[in-house]
Structure 1
Amino acid sequence: MALRPVQVNIKALDHSAVGRFWGQALGWSVFQPGVTSYVGPVGDFVWPDPVGLGINVVPVPGPRTTTKNRVHLDLATTSTARQAELVARLQALGATPAHVGQGTVPWMVLADPEGNEFCVLEPREIYRDTGPIAAVVVDCADPRAMARFWGEAMDWTVHEVTDEVAVLRSAKGGGPYLEFLRTPGAKAVPDRVHLDLLPYPGDDKAAEVARLRALGATDLDLGQGDVPWTCLTDPEGHEFCVLAPS
């Protein structure tokens, strides 16, 4: 048994506006199948996407805190000229420069219209085939521990593990990477960004959740009430949800 990540969940006061931003940022379509805005590759609505990760923007009543998210997206570019063009276009769409202690780096740190940080990377060969989202990046204290947990939790392949970084990617070889970066500081508040996982058809959601708890996941009560998904945290407190099979 294993789970597959199917979408990046972003909480927003105005899910329609944030969904439009990410749709235009990535060159994807925005769908509103329910109370959320789902951003996925251009074409008819397909969920889950067979290769990449969509973005599901979910309405919440409260604004984000000033604390930096410990989960963010890295966007891929194919040249320095393309990087500059993308940064300019994103700022015209409402993105703003963000300062998270990055110093002088070849990538640009921005924030979406509700302050969620993301990076526009300089061209890197490793991200040539990812699509517009190069990686989902998670700040952590122990990349090796994160590789152990997430490598067992999901059906993605662990590509690299060091004291500083752990890298996973779908065994199918497409879509973004999942990267855990050793970062100073501890998680203090819930993130506005997290991953949603989905069992494969025929797998038992309750059994998958029990397996995750045995691996070190902890139940999370955010006041979600009686919902068909299960909210959990990994061993370092990063939130994620296990969705019910459709």
Structure 2
Amino acid sequence: MALRPVHVILKALDAAAVGRFWAEALGWSAYSPGVATYVGPAGGLVWPHPVAVGVDVVPVPEPRNAAKNRLHLDLATTSDSHQAELVARLKSLGATPVDVGQGDVPWTVLADTEGNEFCVLEPREVYRDTGPIARMVVDCADPRAMARFWGEAVDWSLHEVTGERAVMRSAKGVGPYLEFLRTPGVRSVPDRVHLDLLPYPGDDKAAEVARLRALGATDLDVGQGDVPWTCLADPEGHEFCVLALS
């Protein structure tokens, strides 16, 4: 049994507008198969994508609170000029610089049109082949504990585990990285951004959910009602969902 991250859920007041922003930011396309706006590689909607982790922008009535999101995206660049050009283009699309206490760093911290933080990284060799999303970064208190849980929860390989961070990537060596970063004073608040996981064909969703509960996941009620997916929280309270195979 195994699960795979298939997309990042981003909740928004105006899902279509935020979806358009992220499509432009990533050089992908925005698709509207239902009420949500799905952002994935151009060329037609492919889900689940064999390489990319998409961004699914879901409409919600509540505005974003002032707390920093516990999950954010880092965007890859290939050169200093590419980084500068991308930052300038994102600002022209409505992104704004934000200060999350980063200090003097070589990357640029921005917020999208609804205030969701993300970073544009300086060129790094490790992210040359990830696609536009270099990594998905999760603030946490204990990276080692997150590595234990998520290392069993999904079928991705652990690349690094220290007291400061835990790094994972698809066992196929493709797509973005998932990084759990030790963040002092991280606040447990309702998540505006979270991961969705999907079983593989032939696997049993109920059995997967039971396995996650045995690993320390807890059931979560975010007002989802009667839906085919299951909302859970990891041992530090980060929201995630296990989707049903269609």
Identical pairs, percent: 79
The aligned amino acid for 1:210 is A
Shift of 1:140: 0.5
Where 1:168 maps in the other structure, the secondary structure is strand
In structure 2, what is the Cα distance between the partners aligned to 1:141 and 1:119? 21
Equivalence for 2:190: 190
Equivalence for 1:42: 42
Using the size of structure 2 for normalisation, the TM-score is 0.99
Pairs within 5 Å for 1:97-246: 97-246=97-246
In structure 1, what is the Cα distance between the partners aligned to 2:137 and 2:60? 23
Aligned positions, number: 246
| Contact 2:157–2:170 (Cα < 8 Å) also in 1 | yes
Shift of 1:188: 2.7
In structure 1, what is the Cα distance between the partners aligned to 2:235 and 2:31? 33
Deviations 1:172-204 (A, max 9, x none): 111000000000113331121100000001111
Pairs within 5 Å for 1:21-36: 21-36=21-36
| Greater than 4 Å deviation, 4+ residue runs | none
| Contact 1:187–1:237 (Cα < 8 Å) also in 2 | no
Shift of 1:6: 0.2
In structure 2, what is the Cα distance between the partners aligned to 1:168 and 1:190? 24
The aligned amino acid for 1:158 is L
Equivalence for 2:66: 66
Unaligned runs of 5+ in 1: none
| Contact 1:2–1:153 (Cα < 8 Å) also in 2 | yes
Where 1:56 maps in the other structure, the secondary structure is strand
In structure 1, what is the Cα distance between the partners aligned to 2:30 and 2:235? 33
In structure 2, what is the Cα distance between the partners aligned to 1:188 and 1:242? 20
Using the size of structure 1 for normalisation, the TM-score is 0.99
Equivalence for 1:80: 80
Unaligned runs of 5+ in 2: none
Where 1:74 maps in the other structure, the secondary structure is strand
